[in-house]
Every structure is written in structure tokens, then in C-alpha cells.
Chains A and B, each alone.
Chain A
């Protein structure tokens, strides 16, 4: 206990003496942790979204608006006759609108429909395969040109499966993830180096103390601890400030947005809770600063 007090006093004394570099290290840590704090939810929501989409395994064929009832019934039979088709479900125009309402939320779809003042959605067939692996085969069977156009039946206007949508989402978010990961990795590196630099300066300003400690027989770790604690303090303060920034951002920006856009709110619920995030960010930050000071001590503090 007495030792911990001694180490902490020494560390704080050193931080005070090296104000500017300590501040630089803290600011970099703040930026890194803030970015990490934004990156984690983004990763989670994008992954959750594309997995959710991929999970709904079916093919939808929309139907031209001028198709007759007879033609639609014929198409249904044709579809059911395809191999590996488990079920075929007809979705009429009003049903399609209803489904959209459910995904968007009442308010949003009200705005949309009232702006358009008619139902823009086509009727369609939803085809569920007996197995996810056969999705591509069914799609190929429908996409056979029999003279009338792109598809095996002239009334089919379009075909899409959610797999494709998932792939598109992934493509877009993948690029975003790569960019963010690279930036974060660079910032983590910068944090490690700046914490290291702070510790190195601290070793330099405290070289007298280190010399005296060695002469009177302080153990290696006794000499090192104050420097390690100094690094950890930088990490801790940086993380605390970053979490404050993130919390303010969450309360003032993300939460109100979530109220107006159910899409965002839905994603929020699929991410980690805020306390878990705080714990992760604190440990990450302290880990980074510990690595920074540890590496520097190993290189520059010869005891």
C-alpha cells in the first residue's frame, strides 16, 4: 500500500514535470479511443445487418403491373414446378405496402405514401427454396430467356434475392471498415509511440533519481513501476476523456437520431451496451499505454 502511494506520487510528479509531452500523449489516446468507440458499433451493426439479410433466404420476382390474374396463376404453377422450390407465396401490392410499413415504421411510411399518393410497389412472388444452397439454381431457372425478355415468363419484371442485397451492403460497409481499421491501427501505433515518447522523456528528466535508486539498491521493478504507472495514468485519463466525448455524442446525436429513424435505433439494439463498451475501451487504452511504456522501458531504461 505504502509502495503504491510512493509509485503513484513519483508518476504524478513526473507527469507534472513533462506537461507538454504528457498532454500530447493523452490527446492522441483520446482521439484513438474515440475512433475505436465509433468503430466498434459500426462493425457490429454492419455485420448484424448483412447477416440478418442473408438469413432471409428467398427469391422475389416482381410482376409487371399489367399482368392478368390468369397469367399470375400460371406463373405460380410454373414456379412451383421448378425443382427445389419449397413454397411460393404471392404478395399483392397492398401486402407489399404493409410489409414496407412494418420495416420502416408507421410515421415514415405515411410520409412516403402520402407524398406519392399511390402505391408504387409491384406485386411479387416470394419463392423459398428447400435449401439455401439451391438459391442460385432456382434463380438460374427463372433467368432463362424464352423469347419474351430476360425471364422465362414475360410477366416477370425483375428478380432479386436478398443474398445480392447482403453482398451489396457488405461491399459498401467493407470498404468503410477497411478505411476505419487502417486509421485506427495508425492511431493505435501513434498512441503507443507517443506514450513511449512521454516515458522516454520521463526517464531522461528522472535520470538522477534512477541513478540514485540503482546506487542504493532499488530492485529493477521498483525503478520501473513509477514509469509504468505514468503510462497507465496517460491511458486512463485518455480513455476517460474519450468516453466522455463518446457519451456526449451518443446522448446528443445518436439517441435523438434513433428516435426519428427506427433503422438506427434497431441497429443500436444489436450493438454492445454502453457499459460494456466503456469497459472495452478502458482496457484497450490502458493496454496500449502499458505496451508503450513497457517497450520504452525495455529499450531505454538500463537497470
Chain B
């Protein structure tokens, strides 16, 4: 795939919302029906430009994870086209799929670290299995671990780390070969609020290097704080797509209504009226 080459040129202008070239993610009438007949996604169309930082929110079972899996071609769309960098990945031959995945970093709620390997080896593993040279590994791994703030824990094992640290290792592994696109599926689902903010700051820092970041989350506070584009799914449909939303945004979605009722969100929760938030405040 040619995404990496293009990324470097894109690097000069990292957060251009819609470039002249094809958006990095483009869904065109994507429907996913599972063999049991359950419709996980219902004619979803959306586009995410290069360098964007996007939240994907919605209740459990709304199709968020299905969408992520389709982006890495873990699942095939029943109908419609999923395009990465302008290319329909549904038409990609089987043996090109690894190549696609090398261009997409993935972070998950459960970290997916290898328990019998050190922090360094976990990150190096991602490079080893795509056939990187030793020199590359020796250069990239410490640099990436420094970026995520773990340069003092190179030789620790995952079970010796806190949850937040483990997630940082997982982010480092996803980013070590500098993919142009990073998908994070509930990256802070297992973490406390303070640690979550740390992870979000890290993802934001990665976004600033030019990598497009798509974060699936339930974390209302985080979405509020970051003031980025929010796409909300509900029962397999896009019900909201706002460039600088907050989770507590007035919306017609049932989920939004329920959340407000549940959390008893008052007027102070309506900070979205600030429009473009001062995301720099996170730095």
C-alpha cells in the first residue's frame, strides 16, 4: 500500500480535514449482516481525512467494534465499500491483507501484550514479525518507548506494570512502524479517569505527528475534554457526526438522552457551546 509514502508529504499539514486526495477512511453505504441475521451496520457512509483525530461513540452493540474490524479486514462488508486511502479493501486479495495491517496501528482495551516478553520485546515483536532489520528495531523501539514515556521500563514484564503503562506499551507497539492510521478500540476501557487522560494525551501526541487517529470510546469526559470530531453510532447507523462535539451534546439519539438522564448532566455539562475547544490545554 502506498499510504506511508503519501503520509510523509502530508506531514507538513497534519490536520487538514479533507485533503485533495482521497480521505484515509471512507465508508460508502456499508452494511454488515452477521450470519445469524443480526444487522450490525446499516448503510453507514462516512469519511475521515488524513491527520484527523476522531472519536467513535455509541452504546454496546451499536456496531463500533464491527466497524473497526472491517477497517483491518477482519470482517468483510456484506454490502458497500470500505476504502482505505482511496482503495477498496474488500477487493484486496487475501495475501495483501498483512500489507494493509502494517499501515494501520491497533490498540485494544485488553492491551494484547505478550506476558512472557519484556516491554522492549513486546514492541520489538511487532517489527520482527513484519521482517524489519535489526538496525531498524534497535533504532525504532527505544525511540517509540521514549515517546510513550516508558524508557525506564524497557526490561519489565507486562505483569509488573500498571494498567496505564501496559496500554502505553500497546500504543508503542501499534505506532512503532509509524503507520498513517491508528485505531484505538476502547483504549481506556480498563483504566481509571486520570490514566485515561494520559493515554488520550499520548494518542493526541501521535496524531500531531500526522497519523490519523480513530478512537472508539465510552469515556464521556474524555470526549468532552478533547473537543474533536465525534461520530456516534446507534443500532448500526451514524446518528451524529460533528466536528467538535462533546459526549453530552444535545442530540436526538436515544443514547444521548439516556446518558443525560443517567448522569444527571446539568448546564455545566453543556460545555460544547464553547465551539472549538482549547485542545492545546491537554498538552
Which A residues contact B (CB, under 8 angstroms)? 2-3, 6, 208-209, 211-220, 222-223
Tell me the smallest distance from the CB of A136 to a CB of chain B, in Å: 66
Contact B131 A215 (CB under 8 A): no
Q: A213-B129, A216-B125 are in contact. List 11 more A-B contacts (CB 8 A).
A: A3-B131, A208-B112, A208-B115, A209-B125, A214-B98, A215-B106, A217-B102, A219-B95, A219-B98, A222-B129, A222-B131
Binary interface encoding of chain B residues 76-118 relative to chain A, with 1 for a CB under 8 A from any of its CBs, else 0:
0000000000000000000101111111001000001011000
Binary interface encoding of chain B residues 142-177 relative to chain A, with 1 for a CB under 8 A from any of its CBs, else 0:
000000000000000000000000000000011001
Contact B98 A212 (CB under 8 A): no
Contact A217 B130 (CB under 8 A): yes
Interchain residue pairs A-B with the least CB separation, the first 9: A217-B102, A217-B101, A218-B129, A216-B126, A217-B98, A219-B98, A213-B129, A215-B106, A217-B130
Which B residues contact A (CB, under 8 angstroms)? 72, 95, 97-103, 106, 112, 114-115, 125-126, 128-131, 133-134, 173-174, 177
Q: Which residues of A contact B130 (CB under 8 A)?
A: 216-218, 222
Contact A217 B112 (CB under 8 A): no
Report how far A216 CA is from B131 CA in the complex, Å. 11
Q: Which residues of B contact A219 (CB under 8 A)?
A: 95, 98
Tell me the smallest distance from the CB of A123 to a CB of chain B, in Å: 81
Contact A217 B114 (CB under 8 A): no
Tell me the smallest distance from the CB of B132 to a CB of chain A, in Å: 10
Contact A212 B114 (CB under 8 A): yes
Return the contact of A216 from the options B115, B129, B133, B134 (Cβ within 8 A).
Answer: B129
Contact B114 A220 (CB under 8 A): no
Tell me the smallest distance from the CB of A150 to a CB of chain B, in Å: 78
| Contacts A208-B112, A211-B112; A216 near B101 (Cβ below 8 A) | yes
Q: Which residue of A lies closest to B103 (CB)?
A: A217
Contact A216 B102 (CB under 8 A): yes
Return the contact of A218 from the options B98, B112, B173 (Cβ within 8 A).
Answer: B98
Contact A215 B128 (CB under 8 A): no
Contact B95 A220 (CB under 8 A): yes
Q: Which residue of A lies closest to B130 (CB)?
A: A217
Contact B114 A216 (CB under 8 A): no
Q: Which residues of A contact B131 (CB under 8 A)?
A: 3, 222
Report how far A119 CA is from B101 CA in the complex, Å. 89
Report how far A280 CA is from B112 CA in the complex, Å. 44
Report how far A213 CA is from B131 CA in the complex, Å. 11
Contact B125 A215 (CB under 8 A): no
Q: Which residues of B contact A220 (CB under 8 A)?
A: 95, 98
Tell me the smallest distance from the CB of A14 to a CB of chain B, in Å: 11
Report how far A185 CA is from B158 CA in the complex, Å. 47
| Contacts A2-B134, A217-B100, A217-B102; A212 near B126 (Cβ below 8 A) | yes
Report how far A208 CA is from B128 CA in the complex, Å. 16
Report how far A294 CA is from B267 CA in the complex, Å. 63
| Contacts A222-B129, A222-B131; A215 near B95 (Cβ below 8 A) | no
A-B contact pairs, 11 of them (CB 8 A): A208-B112, A209-B114, A209-B125, A211-B112, A214-B98, A215-B72, A216-B173, A217-B101, A217-B102, A218-B98, A219-B98
Q: Which residue of A lies closest to B132 (CB)?
A: A2
Report how far A109 CA is from B131 CA in the complex, Å. 72
Q: Most chain-B CB neighbours within 10 Å: which of A2, A218, A222?
A: A218
Q: Which residues of A contact B126 (CB under 8 A)?
A: 212, 216
Q: Which residues of A contact B99 (CB under 8 A)?
A: 217
Tell me the smallest distance from the CB of B56 to a CB of chain A, in Å: 18
Q: Which residues of A contact B106 (CB under 8 A)?
A: 215
Q: Which residues of B contact A216 (CB under 8 A)?
A: 101-102, 125-126, 129-130, 173-174, 177
Q: Which residues of B contact A218 (CB under 8 A)?
A: 98, 129-130
Report how far A272 CA is from B174 CA in the complex, Å. 57
Tell me the smallest distance from the CB of A33 to a CB of chain B, in Å: 33
Q: Which residues of B contact A217 (CB under 8 A)?
A: 97-103, 129-130
Contact A212 B101 (CB under 8 A): no
Report how far A3 CA is from B132 CA in the complex, Å. 10
Q: Which residue of A lies closest to B105 (CB)?
A: A216
Tell me the smallest distance from the CB of A237 to a CB of chain B, in Å: 23
